[in-house]
Amino acid sequence: MKKLQLTPLTLATALCLALGGLGLFLGFGPASHAQDANAPQSGAAPKPSMTVTTAKPSQASLPLALAANGNIAAWQEASVASESGGLKLQEVRANVGDAVKAGQVLAVFASDTVQADVALAKANLAEAQAQAADAAANAERARSLQASGALSAQQINQYSTTDLSAKARVQSAEAALLQQNLRLKHALVLAPDSGIISARGATVGAVPGAGTELFRLIRQGRLEWRAEVTATELGRVKVGTPVQVVSASGSKVAGRVRMVAPTVDVQSRAALVYVDLKTTSADSGVKAGMFARGEFALGNSNALTVPQEAVVVRDGFSYVFAIGAANKVAQHKVEVGRRVGTQVEILKGLAADATVAVTGAGFLNDGDTVRLGSAK
């Protein structure tokens, strides 16, 4: 067998083919060079993701308010009860919801028996007065005969005693007549004060006992809001503080603090604040017994605010995006406070001289590059 002899030219050709195949395998061919030419250079500036408007935080005077919940109740209630026992209700002139005035007749009892008792008391008084007049005349005659000795001292004393007894019987008869006149007066059930009838227990034909409640009255129709305020916030509320109350029906009523309770409930650690409402129970907006929420106006304070659109809520937290160098945004976690109109208070997390993204902030992520529009 002959040995294969390789010339230098043959070796050079084989080496070139091997290097070319290796270059194709590693991606160094002509196609690779064309792809690298079209790729972006690492030093080029990134393209903006979107256009946003910007704004700077501003200082504003915002109202301080303390929110609370509570019930609406009557300022005071009056119980109108029967003062005459054993009489039948003949007429009921008031019903629940009626507005009444002080002294107005609410119900009438049958007074025939009382009128008969009054007539009897008058007769007894007349009889007692007649007997007293006779006794007084006898006593006067007896005293006139004292000097003559026609009557003994004991007899004269008896006439004087009879005179005094007769006068006492007159006074007793007068008291009995006064009592019957009071019974006759109580046959008319009168409103003790102006207000609104909130409950009625009177029924025509019933014979209620003395002291039985016939009506319940909201005095003067006045209502109050009894707000529950925690012990930690109680010191901020003062007598005379303006209040805005919103009922469950959505009605808004203005009020003013009348009194702060002197004690705190040991269970809830809250105290009642009594707020006089500028409305009456005759109005259709609020009624006694309603649940209501409200706010105490505690004045104003300076605050750092941004437009509401600039605040983005994600995962339960609030963020704003500050514009940095090269229009690159940085996400800042902030704590928000009061909201007034379109402005939101920033309590912490944002510098006062920062520039924040407004329109389109909800679509940004930390580190995005943006194009700036007109500032708000």
Q: Are 286 and 251 in contact (CB under 8 A)?
A: yes
Residue 68 has pLDDT above 50, yes or no: yes
**297, HSE (Cβ side, Cα atoms, 13 Å):** 13
Whether the Cβ atoms of residue 243 and residue 69 lie closer than 8 Å to each other: no
Q: What is the pLDDT of residues 93-119, one digit of tens each?
A: 999 989 999 999 999 999 999 999 999
Mean pLDDT computed over every residue of the chain: 85
- The per-residue pLDDT for 197 is 94
Going along the chain from its start, the domains and CATH numbers come out as 46-75+225-376 (2.40.30.170), 79-110+187-220 (2.40.50.100), 111-185 (1.10.287.470)
Q: What is the mean pLDDT of residues 151-174?
A: 88
3-state secondary structure 206-223: CCCCCCCEEEEEEECCEE
Give every CB contact of residue 70 below 8 A, 6+ residues apart in sequence.
225, 226, 227, 228, 272, 273, 291, 292, 293, 294
pTM value is 0.65
pLDDT class for 191, splitting at 50, 70, 90? very high
- Min mean pLDDT across 157-166, 299-308, 366-375 is at 366-375
The C-alpha atoms of residue 25 and residue 28 are separated, in whole angstroms, by 8
Strand, coil or helix: 170: helix
Q: Among 297, 291, 298, which residue's Cα sits nearest to residue 226?
A: 291
**Using CA atoms, how far apart are residues 207 and 29, in angstroms rounded to an integer?**
117
Degrees, nearest 5: CA angle 45-49-50: 125
> Integer distance in angstroms from the first to the last C-alpha of the chain?
95
- Measured between alpha carbons, how far is residue 42 from residues 22, 45, 46, 48 in Å? 28, 9, 10, 16
Residue 169: the pLDDT is 94
Report pLDDT for 37: 39
pLDDT of residue 31: 40
- pLDDT tens for 2-29 read 444 545 545 445 554 555 554 444 444 4
Angle, nearest 10°, between helix axes 153-185 and 112-144? 160
pLDDT of residue 17: 53
The CA distance from 133 to 167, in Å, is: 9
Residue 32 has pLDDT above 70, yes or no: no
